[in-house]
Amino acid sequence: MPENTLTTITDATFDELVLQARRPVVVDFWATWCPPCGPMSRVLAELAPEFDGQLVIGTLDADQNPVTTMAYRVLAMPTLLFFRDGVVTSSIVGARPKSVLRAALGNVVTPYVNR
């Protein structure tokens, strides 16, 4: 389950929170029936303070938000989509350890900071 330090994203808020965001956004597509999704969301919540003010980490319940899930062809859970200026720049499908997630988030922030 997503933690409070993460931004909850829905079909209704996706455009505003992701596509129009001024900072990079990472969207964690998850589902309640997905065993690795809970631990992955908790790891993202633990990492969120390290990237505060640099990017937005959001969670989207795929079952509750089928429009966005289908629009981005998310077929496996968990899936992370990395957005910059409203465009998907990369993705991670499946659970990953904290070190891999930290590096992936850092890669999103570094080019943004050096612009």
34 is a catalytic site residue: yes
Mean pLDDT within 7-13: 97
Taking 70 as the threshold, does the pLDDT of residue 115 lie above it?
A: no
CA–CA dist 94, 6 (Å, integer): 19
Cβ proximity of 30 and 64 under 8 Å: no
| pLDDT tens track for 30-68 | 999 999 999 999 999 999 999 998 999 999 999 999 999
Cβ burial of 53 (10 Å; 0-12, 13-18, 19+) is exposed
Q: For domain 7-113, give the CATH number.
A: 3.40.30.10
- Single out the catalytic residue among 37, 44, 48, 62: 37
Q: Chain-wide mean pLDDT for the chain?
A: 92
Active site residue 62: no
Of 34, 92, 93, 104, the active-site residue reads 34
